[in-house]
Amino acid sequence: MILVTGGAGFIGSHLVPQLVARGHYVRVLDVLSAQIHGMLPSPSLDWLTQTQNVDFRRGSVTSEADLRAALDGVTSVIHLAAETGTGQSMYEIDRYCRENVQGTARLMHLLANGAATTVRRVLLASSRSVYGEGAYVDSDAAETERATRITPASRSAEALRARKWEPTCPETGKALTAVPTREDDRTAPASIYAATKLMQEDLVRIGCDSAGLGHAILRLQNVYGEGQSLNNPYTGILSIFSTRIRRGLELPIFEDGLESRDFVHVSDVAAAFAAAAEAEAAPNTVINVGSGRATSVIDIAKALCRAFNEPENLTVTGQFRLGDIRHNVADVGRLRDRLGLTPQVGLDEGLRRFAQWVSTQPLPEDRLGEANAELAKRKMMG
C-alpha cells in the first residue's frame, strides 16, 4: 500500500488514479485545506471517495495521531501535502513552517521511531524554487562546456525598479546567460516557501538515511494541467490567465515578458512519482522533473490564448514581484537516466487539454487585482 499525503490536491488527483491503474492500493491522507478545496463537501472529490483501491482519510500530517493511523500497513510514502503559495509564504511564515516543515518532521519522527515498520521508501515532492535564480554562466563563455556555473543572488528591488531584469554576476557585474539547472547546482531559496521545501528535502534525506529507508526527492518545475486550482490566486499563472481569457480581460505580463519557466504537464509528474515508487532500488537522490524546455511568459500567454481560440490580448506592464526569479529550465538528464522517463506531453497538447478542461469548469472570479493589492500593500510589488 502506498500512502499519498496531500493526495486530494492537484498533483494527487493525477497520481492516485495512475497508481491505482498500475495495480497499487493507495491511501490518501489530506486535510482538504479550505484555500485549495473551497467549500466542502465537493462533488469534485467523488473520484477519491468512490474509486476502488483508494482509502481516503481526512486528516493532517501535522497530527501525530492522523499520521500514525495513516501509516499502518504502508510500504511507501509519497509526501505531497504542503502549502504552496510562494508570495503568501512571505507573510504567513508561521503557517508555512508548521504545515511544510513540522508536517515533514512529524512524518520522519514517526518513521525513525518505528511507528511504521512496513515503510521502505519515502518520496518527496520538492520544488525548483530551492534553486533560487538557478544556474547561469558568463555570457562570454556560454557556448563552452566548461564555463563556470554561477547561481546569482535574487534580483534587488533597486535593479528591478531600474528595469534591469537579467541577473548579473555577483563578482564582476557582467552579463550572464541562463542554462538548464542541474540537481547538483547550488541551492539558494529566495522565499519562505522555498526554504520550507529545502528543509523538507533535508529532513527526508537525512531521516531516511539514518533509518535505513530509501528515498527520492523530485524537484518539480512549473506543473500545470487539468484539475489545477482555478480559485487560488496565490499560485499558477495559467489559472490566473485562463480566468482572464474567459472573462475577455487582457493578460498583464510582468517585467518585459521574456522571463521564462519550465512548464511540465501534471501527467508527466505523476509518471515520475510512479516510476520512483516502482524502481527496484530507491533512487536515493534528487531528480528534476520538468520538460527541459524554457518558455517565456509572453509565449505561454500567447499559446494559452490560442488554446482557447481567443485573440492574443496581452499587455507587457513592466510591473514586477519581489522574489520572482527571472529564468528557469531544468536539466532533465537524471530523470531520463535514473527513472527512464522523458516528458510525454508537449506544451501545445498540454495546453489544449488544459483549456478544454477549464472550459467545463465554473467561471471563477478574477482575483488577480486582489492578490496584487495584497502584495503591493506589503511592498512586494513594483
Task: Name the DSSP letter for residue 330.
Answer: B
Residue nearest to ligand NAD (CB): 9
Shortest distance in whole angstroms from residue 378 CB to ligand NAD = 22
- From residue 282, give the alpha-carbon distance in Å to each of 113, 217, 266, 271, 338: 21, 11, 22, 16, 10
Interface with ligand NAD (CB under 6 A): 5-6, 8-12, 29-33, 36-37, 60-62, 80-82, 84, 99, 103, 125, 127, 220, 222-223, 229
Q: Would residue 193 show up in a list of annotated catalytic residues for this protein? A: yes
Task: Round to whole Å and give the CA distance between 49 and 46.
Answer: 5
For 156-181, b where at least 16 C-beta lie within 10 A, e where not — what string? eeeebeeeebbbbbeeeeeebbbbbb
Task: Name the DSSP letter for residue 322.
Answer: T
- From residue 198, give the alpha-carbon distance in Å to each of 161, 186, 268, 323, 380: 29, 12, 22, 16, 22
**C-beta closer to ligand NAD: residue 123 or 137:** 123
User: What angle separates helix 237-246 from helix 347-358, to the nearest 10 degrees?
Assistant: 50
Shortest distance in whole angstroms from residue 221 CB to ligand NAD = 7
**C-beta closer to ligand NAD: residue 36 or 190:** 36
**C-beta closer to ligand NAD: residue 81 or 304:** 81
Task: Round to whole Å and give the CA distance between 375 and 367.
Answer: 13
**C-beta closer to ligand NAD: residue 30 or 331:** 30
* Cα 172–Cα 178–Cα 183 angle in degrees, nearest 5: 105
Q: Among the options 96, 131, 136, 193, which is catalytic?
A: 193
Please check whether residue 167 is in contact with residue 155, taking contact to mean a CB–CB distance below 8 angstroms: yes
Shortest distance in whole angstroms from residue 75 CB to ligand NAD = 20
- The three cell numbers of residue 255 are 517585467
Shortest distance in whole angstroms from residue 113 CB to ligand NAD = 20
**C-beta closer to ligand NAD: residue 33 or 285:** 33
Shortest distance in whole angstroms from residue 328 CB to ligand NAD = 11
Continuous segment of H or E residues that includes residue 96: helix 93-96
Shortest distance in whole angstroms from residue 95 CB to ligand NAD = 10
Q: Is 351 exposed, middle or buried (0-12, 13-18, 19+ CB in 10 A)?
A: buried
Task: Name the DSSP letter for residue 218.
Answer: E
Please check whether residue 197 is in contact with residue 100, taking contact to mean a CB–CB distance below 8 angstroms: yes
**C-beta closer to ligand NAD: residue 261 or 338:** 261
* Cα 328–Cα 331–Cα 333 angle in degrees, nearest 5: 165
Phi and psi at 175, nearest 5°, equal -70, 145
Shortest distance in whole angstroms from residue 58 CB to ligand NAD = 9
**C-beta closer to ligand NAD: residue 61 or 160:** 61
- The residues that are catalytic are 193
